[in-house]
């Protein structure tokens, strides 16, 4: 959430962010309400001062035996007026906050302006094998032939977009999760096993609500939401708290399943594991001091890269342009891996700095020093990394002419020393 004072002083900056991010938000309505809200605050303070003066006058008149009925009547009028203004002020506060929650974060100055086609190439790693010597198959064919992926039976159980992994497919998924958690733990990330559902306040705190309600699964009876990412429960661990400076930076990691309705994406990338409604992910979350957050962003990117390098997967890094940037992020890097069977780059990680946008919504602060005024922290998160596209790329890039799948060396200990997936 943007600071109200910032909006008041920089309305054109906010309007530009709305346009550049292809978002919606009514800055003028917010400013009009805010102006009235400030006027009411001023009037209430003046009325309270007048009431206090009148109360002193009443006490003095009573001590001197004078008739204070007129002054008492005026005090009652002032109290009634103050009460009415307080009700109006409370209603305005709710309206202003509602408008604030719909304003996107301001993109960092280094973020390119434009749409997806304007995403900026940062770097790449690894070599794409453009001539493997045999025809590469897509992962859905490989998975079916090896008996490790069943799209049809998954759909029978739940619906389309809920794949079923079997045998070595299920083992590989769990092996990758354990490997990634071990890797990040070595770099100082503390393990968290959070709930897989979150309440409306938590969803609002990280920016999923109110904007993206149609993209999530909602259990209406209990007003709980299936989490679209571990970012939601992990970030909200410290909602409403003031952290000590000595605690920071805080690095947390969590494995969770993620649930996304993908509304509006019907018919797009629906084959196999490319676009699903449920997938597993290891998420990294950082709580840091504001002055260090962009250094921390680069370190978080490097941490996600470690996973892909260890798995021997060629990848590239892009800085997302404003129109491709999420509602809450100030800057984001996407990591895309090469999948030889579908001949495409597949996004498996987004690494983002939200600055104090989420912290304001969730009211997460820290005290810089003893006796100092609390400040909002900066939050960051990054996929470290997301399945199921990771599995898709490993199957496609690891396939051999004999139809077996070669596993990267780093994952074999998690598979009992197994080198190949085969019939």
H/E element holding 381? strand 378-386
- For residue 271, the model assigns a pLDDT of 85
By annotation, the residues acting in catalysis are 260, 275, 347, 350, 389
Domain boundary among 101, 133, 152: 101
Residues 306, 191, single domain; the answer is yes
The parent domain of residue 65 ranges over 4-101
Same domain, 65 and 149: no
Burial of 75-100, coded b for 16+ CB within 10 Å and e otherwise, reads beebeeebeebeeebeebeeebeebb
Beta carbons of 188 and 196 less than 8 angstroms apart: no
Tell me: do 219 and 348 sit in the same domain. Answer: yes
Helices (H), 64-135: 69-101
Instruction: In whole angstroms, give the CA distance from residue 225 to residue 196.
Output: 9
CB atoms inside a 10 Å sphere around CB 210: 12
Q: Would you write out the chain's pLDDT as a tens digit for each of its 423 residues?
A: 999 999 999 999 999 999 999 999 999 999 999 999 999 999 999 999 989 888 888 888 888 888 888 888 888 889 999 999 999 999 999 999 999 999 999 999 999 999 999 999 999 999 999 889 999 999 999 999 999 999 999 999 999 999 999 999 999 999 999 999 999 999 999 999 999 999 999 999 999 999 999 999 999 999 999 999 999 999 999 999 999 988 999 999 999 999 999 876 555 667 899 999 999 999 999 999 999 999 999 999 999 999 999 999 999 999 999 999 999 999 999 999 999 999 999 999 999 999 999 999 999 999 998 889 999 999 999 999 999 999 999 999 999 999 999 999 999 999 999 999 998
Q: Is 157 found in the same domain as 47?
A: no
CB hemisphere CA count around 212 (13 angstroms): 23
Are 223 and 285 in the same domain?
yes
Which of 53, 76, 101 is the endpoint of a domain?
101
* In a domain? residue 349: yes
- Structural domain contains residue 45: yes
Same structural domain, 148 and 57? no
Domain's final residue, options 78, 101, 124: 101
pLDDT tens for 122-154 read: 999 999 998 899 999 999 999 999 999 999 999
Inside any domain, residue 110 = no
* Residue 91 sits in the same domain as residue 123: no
Give 226-294 as a DSSP string. E-SSTHHHHHGGGTT-EEEGGG-SEEEEEEEEEE---TT-TTSS-STTSS-SEEEEEEEEEEE-GGGHH
Note the pTM of the prediction, 2 decimals. 0.93
Token pair in block for residue 202: 């938590």
- H-type alpha helices, 120-162: 139-146, 151-157
Q: Please give the tally of structural domains in the chain.
A: 2
Give yes or no for a contact between 96 and 297, defined as CB atoms under 8 angstroms apart: no
142: nearest Cα among 177, 169, 113: 169
Same domain, 256 and 398: yes
Both tokens of 330, joined, read: 């100030």
Q: Are residues 256 and 403 both part of a single domain? A: yes
Residues 286 and 384 in one domain: yes
Whether 210 is covered by a domain: the verdict is yes
Query: Which CATH number belongs to the domain containing residue 92 in this structure?
Result: 1.10.287.40
Whose CA is closest to 4, among 99, 77, 133? 99
Domain identity same for 139 and 194: yes
Whether residue 109 lies inside any domain: the answer is: no
CB 62 within 8 A of CB 90: no
Instruction: Note whether residue 407 is domain-resident.
Output: yes
Whole-Å CA distances, 140 to 49, 158, 256, 312? 74, 19, 24, 21
- Residue at token pair 């709980």: 224
CATH number where 322 lies: 3.30.930.10
For residue 107, being part of any structural domain is answered with no
**Residue 97 and residue 209 in one domain:** no
219, containing H or E segment:
strand 218-219
Is 106 within the bounds of a domain? Answer: no
């Amino acid at each position: 959430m943007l600071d109200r004072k910032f909006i008041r002083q920089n309305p054109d900056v906010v309007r530009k962010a709305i346009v550049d991010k292809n978002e919606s938000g009514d800055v003028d309505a917010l400013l009009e309400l805010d102006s009235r809200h400030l006027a009411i605050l001023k009037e209430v303070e003046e009325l309270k001062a007048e009431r206090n003066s009148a109360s002193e006058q009443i006490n003095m008149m009573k001590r001197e035996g004078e008739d204070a009925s007129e002054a008492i009547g005026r005090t009652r009028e002032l109290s009634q007026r103050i009460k009415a203004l307080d009700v109006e002020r409370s209603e305005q506060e709710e309206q202003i906050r509602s408008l604030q929650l719909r304003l996107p974060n301001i993109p960092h100055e280094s973020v390119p302006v434009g749409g997806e086609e304007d995403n900026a190439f940062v770097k790449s790693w690894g070599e794409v094998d453009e001539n493997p010597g045999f025809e590469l198959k897509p992962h859905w064919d490989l998975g079916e032939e090896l008996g490790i992926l069943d799209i049809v039976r998954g759909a029978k159980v739940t619906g389309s977009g809920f794949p079923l992994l079997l045998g070595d497919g299920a083992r590989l998924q769990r092996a990758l999760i354990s490997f990634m958690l071990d890797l990040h733990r070595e770099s100082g990330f503390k393990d968290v096993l959070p709930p897989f559902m979150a309440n409306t306040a938590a969803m609002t705190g990280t920016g999923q609500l109110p904007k993206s309600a149609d993209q999530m699964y909602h259990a209406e009876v209990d007003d709980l939401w299936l989490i679209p990412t571990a970012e939601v429960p992990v970030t909200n661990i410290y909602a409403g708290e003031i952290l000590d400076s000595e605690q920071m930076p805080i690095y947390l990691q969590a494995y969770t399943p993620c649930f996304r309705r993908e509304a509006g994406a019907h018919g797009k990338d629906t084959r196999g594991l490319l676009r699903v409604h449920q997938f597993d992910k290891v998420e990294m979350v950082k709580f840091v001091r504001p002055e260090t957050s962009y250094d921390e962003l680069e370190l978080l990117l490097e941490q996600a890269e470690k996973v892909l390098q260890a798995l021997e997967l060629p990848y590239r890094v892009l800085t997302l342009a404003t129109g491709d940037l999420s509602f809450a992020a100030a800057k984001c890097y996407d990591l895309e891996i090469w999948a030889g069977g579908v001949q495409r780059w597949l996004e498996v990680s987004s690494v983002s700095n939200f600055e104090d946008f989420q912290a304001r919504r969730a009211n997460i602060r820290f005290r810089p020093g003893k006796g100092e005024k609390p400040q909002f922290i900066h939050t960051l998160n990054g996929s470290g990394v997301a399945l199921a596209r990771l599995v898709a790329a490993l199957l496609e890039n690891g396939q051999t002419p004999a139809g077996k799948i070669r596993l990267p060396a780093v994952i074999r200990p998690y598979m009992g020393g197994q080198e190949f997936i085969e019939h």
